[in-house]
Structure formats: structure tokens, C-alpha cells
Structure 1
Amino acid sequence: MTVPAPRARRRTSMLGRSLPVLLIVALLAPVGLLFASTWQQTGDDRSLADSERLGVQYLRALAPLTEALVEAQSAAVAGRPVPGEPLSRAVEQAAAVDARIGGQLRSQERWAGLRAKVEALRDRSPADPEAAYTAYGEVTDLLLALHRKVRESSGLGRDPGADSFFLQDSAGQKLPEAVVAAGRLADLGALAARRPPAERLRSLMGLTGLRVSALSPAGDVVDNLRSAVDSSESTDLGANVLTPLDAYQRSVEALALYSTPSAAGTIDQGQLTAAALNSRNAARQLQPVILGELDALLTERADGLARDRWLAGGAGVAAALLLAWLAGMLIAAARRARRRAATPDAGSPAAPPPADPWQPPAPTGQPADPRTLQPVGAAHEPILAQWGPFDASR
């Protein structure tokens, strides 16, 4: 009988040995890229929200300074003593905020120039209303430029949320511009009443330009806040903003009415001054509400981004542990396969021992141990001896 020779095991190819590693890398690469992208994006958004909150803090400090400068300008133009205490207090508050966060918002240089101009104004004599109007106009221009700088450096100007963008645009740009322009409008009306008749046309042209400068941003404030309420998911925004907004809108409508020249080209200065004062008071009530709602939205966004960041980190760790477990399983399977390849199977027949080189091989087709030939009868004699002689009667 021919014994089949055992089959030789195939050696594992290089591709087979490296397949587990390639599979792990193929799974780990997209997971790692997704985790890194999510981590980076949430980190950038969180940093922007934190920076915007610093901008809100700075704008809070600039609001009293804006109001104090407008009141000081009105007093100087009217020939009254400028109240120094409100202006000094507002300057100190703004200086404290700038010393704390001005470096992060890159506003220290602009604040230093504005503060120097304000200090110079307090030493001026109120003898020349025209010169005072011009000087205060330069200072308030620097103040509005500081507002723009804070919005730009803090990231408020590129806020990604619809409701928060409308809020920051109203509190950081439109409302300060409207307050400053309304004060200038009332003060120019007071100056125009004292100018000679030959300058009446120039005064009316100036008043018309300031009227547009005051009413245009005021109207933008109203539109922005209503758009913010409509686009916001916050249920508190509308309830908190709409009441002071309605009061401000009524004051702006009165300012538009009393700043319109009559058919004779004259303006009632008393009514114009009162309307400008009412609009400033309404803005004083509205701006803290806007900044408070804006800060609440930014805080909620920052907290949500922090949660998303930790969730992304947890998902990344879980994915890494799962891939490590899978890698261990694949590596263990590869090692077992290599051990089986190196050890013969227990159930396969053993190979015959090697032949003796000095023993001549048996002829083909002939038994290896030939027996001696015997006659046919002799071969059956032992069997017949066991049964004995044959008896037919049995």
C-alpha cells in the first residue's frame, strides 16, 4: 500500500503578515483625523466666545464714558460748567477695564490716546462754545473708533450666531453712534440759534446731515433687535429686550419729529434738546439689557462648546481603546497562525524513516520478504489433522 506524503504548508506572504497592521492604520487614520478636526474646531469656537465676552466687558465700561462725554459737550456748548465727577468716574472705570483686558484686545494704545484727549478737555475753559463743540467732536470720534477696535479685536464683529450678531452690532456700534449723533444734533441746534443770520443756511445743512447721522443708526438698532428676537431660540430675549426697545423707538420718533425744520427753516431748540435727552435716557436703559443678553448667549455657547469638546475627547479615547483591542486580537491571531505553520498536524501520518543506503531496494512488484514455495497438499495438512479421518456415517 502506498502511503501519501504529507502536504507542505504554505508560508505566510508578506502581505498576509502586514494585513493586520494595514487594517488598523486604515481604521485609525479617519478616526484620528475626525477627532483632531472636531477638537480643533470646538477649541477655536470656544476661544472666540471667550474673547467676545471680553469685548462685552469692555463695551460695558465704555457706555458710561459715552454718556458722560455727551453730557459734558452739551454743558460746554451751553456755556455751563462741565460736571467733572461723572466724567472722571467713567474714565477711571474704563481705565481699570483696559488695564485688565486691554492687552488681550489690543486696545491700550487707542485708550491711552483717548484718555489724554479727555484729560485735556477737563482743563478747557467753557468760554468758546464753538471751539468746545469741535474739541468734543474730536474726542467722541476717538471714542467711536475705540468701540470699533474692541469689536474687531474681540471677534464680536464676526460672531457666527444670528441673534448674537444683531445684538453686538446694536450695542457695540449703532447705539453709540446714535447717542453721539443725537447729542451733536441738539448742540448744533443750540449753536445755530446764536449764529448770525448769514450762517443760517450753513447751520441748516449741518443739522440736516446730523439728523441723518442720528436717525439712521437709531433705526438700525430697532431693526437689529427685532431681527435678533425673531431669530433667537432664547425665550428670555424677547421678554427682556422689547420693553426698553419700544421706549427707545418712541424717543427716536420724537427726535425725528422735532429735528425737522419748519417751513420757515427754523427748529424749536427746546423741544429738540428735550427729545435728544429722552433718546439718551432711553439708550441708557436699553444698552445694559442688550449687553446682558449678549453675554448670556455667549456664555451658553461657550458652555455648549466645552461639553462638545469633552464628548469629542471621550469618543476619541473610546475609539482608541477599541482599535487597540482589535489590534491585539489581530496580532494574537497572526501569531497563532505562524505557530501552526511551524508545527505539523497531529492527525497526519508520519513520514517513513529514511532508507538504509547500504540496503539494496526490493525489486518492483515483488514482496520484500519472500516465502518458500510449498505444494498445495502440504499446505492443508495441518488443517486436516485437526478434524481427523473422514467418516461418511457422520
Structure 2
Amino acid sequence: MTVPAQRSRREPNRTGTALRVLLAVALLLPAGVLFSSAWRSNDDRLTVAERERHGVEYLRSLGQVTLALVDAQSGAVAGRAAAAAALRTAVEETSAVDVRYGAELRTSERWAGLHAKIEALPDRPPANPQDAWTVYTETTDLLLALYAKVRESSGLIRDPESDSYHLQDAVAEELPEALVAAGRLADRSVLAAGRSGGDPLRTASELALARSAVLGPAADLVENLRSAVENTASRTLGGNLLSRLDGYQRAVEDLAALTRDSAAPNPIQVGAARASAQLAGSGLATIILAELDILLGERVDGLTGERRIVVGALVLAVLLVLALAALPVLAARAADRGRGTPAGAGEPTTDGLRRTVDAESGPPPTGPPLAESALPVGATLAGPPAGGLPPLPERRPRRPDPAGDPGRRSPLADWQDPVPAGQATQSAVPERPAPWGRPDAR
């Protein structure tokens, strides 16, 4: 049979659902912009920190070149054979570091020039100590210029943190200058002792200038390290630096004292003081570079953690937006399943009527079955004949009531139950008992 589809109590608001989905998707745009900005900022800071660590590694290799070159200069000025093996090893190590980071730090050209200058140094000391002084002074000047290039290209000179800035300033500027100046001060004393005829005034002025070149960077070094200790959150920086710093200060003061009060200091004593200051400075440089690398490593770890947080926040925002977009759709589908109405049922058609469902098009509408008493008199719940609506009940003709007034009729005279389809009838009018219980009414 065909039964009109039950009308849904509340039609889904498809326009509202679409607007909610579009709003949820639109929320991804500001989230994407914020993620892109945070990612770029984090990536820039992470790149700078990594480059600074590469600069620290380059400075570590240059420290070995500095010590070997100062020793070679002192030996050449004193007329001894240069320690070529130590210098060659230090140069090879720095060349390997330059291969890895030279392009990034833009130091390859400067290192190539310095390398060529070191290779051109004579294997044997020149006959004139002043010539050895001149050649090695030019080489150490190129070395100090390479220190400045590493600081500038790696970004150490622009480090935003107070402790790491003071550390890099101490280890990449003051300490190399102080070590080179200490070697030159010792060489000046050797040249003054070997000068024929003597020139006390010239010797005193040269030693005063060389001594000032040692004490100035050493004082700046101490100031930088104290500032780094006062402005750091590291628990190991102060204890590791202060003991080494005290030893370096004593060695520099001893070296300066040997060249202050004598017009012609003893070259052997000055050389020994220079070696002590150089050894103390080397140990101090090792500690400074290690602490600086630790600080930069902690910064890199923090930035990497921030990157993970940024990515996690983006993923969470995407999931929330997708959930917000999917909830109205899922709710509408759940409502349709709960009502048991297939998609499209109950919607108006072109003729203004609503669609119906039958046994072929879908399940019957839910709800209590229609009672037989709710149908018109004579209608049953039997299926309709094929090709049309159920027939109307048969109307019997009115007949007079023999028991009374001819104009009066029985309440049951107008309508009688129709004969079910397919049953034969014996008479057009079935017998019935006489109304009002009178037997003679027949």
C-alpha cells in the first residue's frame, strides 16, 4: 500500500550547516598566518644560533694556530729553529674546519691568504732577527683579522644574550690580541738585548708600547669575563672561569714587571714569563669556548622545543577546526537516521506534493499503526487494488421503514459494509433482522 511519508518535525538547516563549515575553514587562515610567522622567527633564531656554534668551532681551531705561530715567531727572533711540526698540524686542522664552515662564514678567502703566508715562512731563521720579526708580525696581523672576520660572519659579535656576548668578545678579540702581544713583548726584549751599542731610550719606548699592548687587552678580558659571570644563569660558568682568570692575571703581571723596571730586561726570564702567560691564556680560552658552546647549545635546544610547540599548536588547531566543521554534518546525519527517513523523503516535488514511500522505494514511516476505527466506515487496511486508490464504500438506496413513518429511516439503512473483493453475493440486499425487535416486520 502507499502511505504518505511522515513529515519530519524539523527540517535540517542546510544553509546554516554550510555557513558553519565555511566559518570553521576560514579559521584556518589566521592560524596559518600565525604559524608561518612563528616558524620564520624560530627558524631565523635557530639558524643564527647554529652559525654561532660553527664560529665557536672555527675559533677553537684558530686558537691552536695562534699558539703555534707565536711560538714559531719567538723561536725565529731568538735564532732557533721554528716548531714547524706543531704549526703544520694546527694549520691542517683549521683547513679541515674551513672546508666545512668556510662558505657559511665567508672566511675561505682570508684563510687561503693566511695559509699561503704561513707556508711562505722560512724554515730556517733569518740572519737578521728584525727580518723574522717583520715577517711574523705581518702573519699574526692576518691571523687577528681572521678572528674578526669569524666574529662578524658567525654573528657572535651581535649575540643578543649578555653572558654569551661578553664571552665571545673575550675569547675572539681580547685574548688573541693579548697572546700575540705577549709574544711580541718577549721578542722586543730579545731584540733590545741583541742591539749593538744599545739605545736605552728606544728600548724603553718600544717595551712600553709592547707592554701596553699586553695589559690593555688583558684588562678588557678580565672585565668581560666578570660581566659574563654577573649576567649569566649558568651554575658552572663562574667557578670554571674565575680560577683560570686569576692564574692568567698573575702571569701577565709577572711578564709586565720584568719589562717595566729595566732598560734591557733578561730575554730568558721574559721568555719564561711569556710561556707561562701563554699557557694560562690557552687554558682560559679552552674554558671560555666550552662554556660559550654550552650556552649556545642550550639556546638551540630551547628553540628546537619551541619549534615542536609551534607545530603541535598548528596540528591541534587544524583538528579543532575539522571537528567544528564535521559536527554539524554528523549531527544532521544522525538526526536523519534517528527519524528513519531516507534522504530526500518528505521533500516537496514539482507538483507541490510530498514524496511517498512504498515497499519498493523504502521502508514505511515510523509511528503507531493506524487503527481500523480511524478509517471511514467500510474501509479496511487491506491493500488497494492495483493501479488506483481504494474504492469508496457502497451506498445503499434509501428504502421506507414499514414499521413506521415512511419518511423515517433506520440509521443503518444508508450505509452497509461493502462486499469484500472477490466474494460472490447471494442477493443484492442481505437479510437483516427487523428493526425495533418486531417479528412481523419481515
TM class, shorter-length: 0.7 to 0.9
- The 2-side partners of 1:208 and 1:334 are apart by 92
- The 2-side partners of 1:124 and 1:139 are apart by 16
- The 1-side partners of 2:172 and 2:74 are apart by 23
**Paired letter, 1:168:** Q
Matches within 5 A, 1:198-347: 199-261=199-261, 265=263, 267=265, 269-329=267-327
Q: Mean alpha-carbon deviation: is it higher for 221-230 or for 175-184?
A: 221-230
For residues 238-285 of structure 1, the C-alpha deviation after alignment (integer angstroms, 9 at most, x for no partner) is 2222211111122122233333245xx554544433332221110111
**8 Å contact from structure 2 (residues 118, 139) kept in 1:** yes
**8 Å contact from structure 2 (residues 21, 324) kept in 1:** no
Q: Mean alpha-carbon deviation: is it higher for 135-144 or for 84-93?
A: 84-93
Q: Which residue pairs with 2:340 in the alignment?
A: none
Distance 1:331 1:255, change over 3 A: farther
Q: Mean alpha-carbon deviation: is it higher for 172-181 or for 216-225?
A: 216-225
Q: Secondary structure at the match of 1:80?
A: coil
Matches within 5 A, 1:190-205: 190-196=190-196, 199-205=199-205
**8 Å contact from structure 2 (residues 21, 326) kept in 1:** no
- The 2-side partners of 1:64 and 1:119 are apart by 16
Q: CA deviation at 1:329?
A: 4.2
**8 Å contact from structure 2 (residues 98, 108) kept in 1:** yes
Q: Which residue pairs with 1:126 in the alignment?
A: 126
Q: Which residue pairs with 2:117 in the alignment?
A: 117
Q: CA deviation at 1:332?
A: 7.6
Which protein has greater RCO, CA pairs closer than 8 Å, 6+ apart?
Answer: 1
**8 Å contact from structure 2 (residues 56, 293) kept in 1:** yes
For residues 115-155 of structure 1, the C-alpha deviation after alignment (integer angstroms, 9 at most, x for no partner) is 11111113354311001001100000011111111122222
Distance 1:327 1:85, change over 3 A: same
Q: Mean alpha-carbon deviation: is it higher for 248-257 or for 58-67?
A: 248-257
**Paired letter, 1:218:** A
Q: CA deviation at 1:17?
A: 9.2
**8 Å contact from structure 1 (residues 20, 331) kept in 2:** no
Q: Which residue pairs with 1:156 in the alignment?
A: 156
**8 Å contact from structure 1 (residues 58, 98) kept in 2:** yes
Q: Which residue pairs with 2:79 in the alignment?
A: 79
**Paired letter, 2:307:** R
- The 1-side partners of 2:169 and 2:215 are apart by 16
Distance 1:20 1:275, change over 3 A: same
- The 2-side partners of 1:27 and 1:202 are apart by 79
**Paired letter, 1:320:** V
Q: CA deviation at 1:25?
A: 6.6
- The 1-side partners of 2:106 and 2:187 are apart by 33
1:142 counterpart = 2:122: no
**Paired letter, 1:44:** D
Q: CA deviation at 1:211?
A: 1.9
1:32 counterpart = 2:13: no
**8 Å contact from structure 1 (residues 248, 286) kept in 2:** yes
Q: Secondary structure at the match of 1:160?
A: coil
- The 1-side partners of 2:221 and 2:267 are apart by 25
**8 Å contact from structure 1 (residues 114, 143) kept in 2:** yes
Runs of at least 5 residues in structure 1 that lack an aligned partner in the other structure = 1-11, 345-394
**8 Å contact from structure 1 (residues 81, 126) kept in 2:** no
- The 2-side partners of 1:56 and 1:120 are apart by 28
Runs of at least 5 residues in structure 2 that lack an aligned partner in the other structure = 1-12, 336-343, 349-353, 355-442
**Paired letter, 1:225:** L
**Paired letter, 2:28:** L
Q: Secondary structure at the match of 1:121?
A: coil
Q: Which residue pairs with 2:167 in the alignment?
A: 167
- The 2-side partners of 1:124 and 1:330 are apart by 89
Q: CA deviation at 1:18?
A: 8.5
Q: Which residue pairs with 1:58 in the alignment?
A: 58
**Paired letter, 1:280:** Q
- The 2-side partners of 1:23 and 1:197 are apart by 95
**8 Å contact from structure 1 (residues 80, 126) kept in 2:** no
**8 Å contact from structure 2 (residues 56, 289) kept in 1:** yes
Q: CA deviation at 1:178?
A: 0.6
Q: Secondary structure at the match of 2:260?
A: coil
TM-score (ref. length: structure 1): 0.75
Q: Secondary structure at the match of 1:35?
A: helix
Q: Which residue pairs with 1:187 in the alignment?
A: 187
Q: CA deviation at 1:327?
A: 3.2
- The 2-side partners of 1:25 and 1:257 are apart by 77
For residues 208-243 of structure 1, the C-alpha deviation after alignment (integer angstroms, 9 at most, x for no partner) is 222222111111211111211221111111222221
- The 1-side partners of 2:241 and 2:187 are apart by 30
Q: Mean alpha-carbon deviation: is it higher for 278-287 or for 154-163?
A: 154-163
Across the aligned residues of Structure 1 and Structure 2, the Cα RMSD in angstroms comes to 3.4
**8 Å contact from structure 2 (residues 186, 271) kept in 1:** yes
Q: Mean alpha-carbon deviation: is it higher for 60-69 or for 191-200?
A: 191-200
Distance 1:323 1:193, change over 3 A: same
- The 1-side partners of 2:101 and 2:77 are apart by 34
**Paired letter, 1:164:** S
Q: Percent identity?
A: 51
TM-score (ref. length: structure 2): 0.68
- The 2-side partners of 1:94 and 1:285 are apart by 19
Matches within 5 A, 1:366-385: none
**8 Å contact from structure 2 (residues 55, 156) kept in 1:** yes
